[in-house]
Amino acid sequence: MNEQLKTPELAAVEVDVEGGDLSRGDVILKGALAAGAIYGSAMVSPFVRKALAMSESGDVGILNFALTLEYLESTFYAEAKKRAKPSGELKALVELIASDEQQHVEALEATIKKLGGKPVAEPKFNFEYNDTAGFLELAQTFEDTGVSAYNGAGPMIKSKEVLAAAGGIVQVEARHAAAIRLQNSEQPAPAAFDSPLDEKQVLKAVEPFIV
Compute the C-alpha angle 36/105/39, nearest 5°: 5
Stretch that binds another protein, among 2-10, 13-21, 26-34, 175-183 (CB under 8 A): 175-183
Residues in a beta bridge with 126: 14
Q: Sketch the per residue contact string, 85 through 104, with another protein: x for CB under 8 A, - otherwise.
A: -------xx-xx-xxx-xxx
Cβ neighbours, 10 Å, residue 95? 14
**Minimum distance of another protein from residue 168's CB (angstroms):** 4
194 binds another protein (CB under 8 A): yes
- Select from 55, 25, 21, 27 the least CA-distant residue to 208: 27
Distance between CA atoms of residues 178 and 209, nearest Å? 29
Minimum CB distance to another protein smaller for 83 or for 175: 175
Tell me which of 32, 179, 202, 206 binds another protein, using CB under 8 A.
179
Cβ neighbours, 10 Å, residue 8? 14
Q: Residues in the site for another protein, rule: CB under 8 A?
A: 92-93, 95-96, 98-100, 102-104, 106-107, 110-111, 114-116, 147, 150-151, 154-156, 159-165, 167-179, 182, 187-189, 191-195
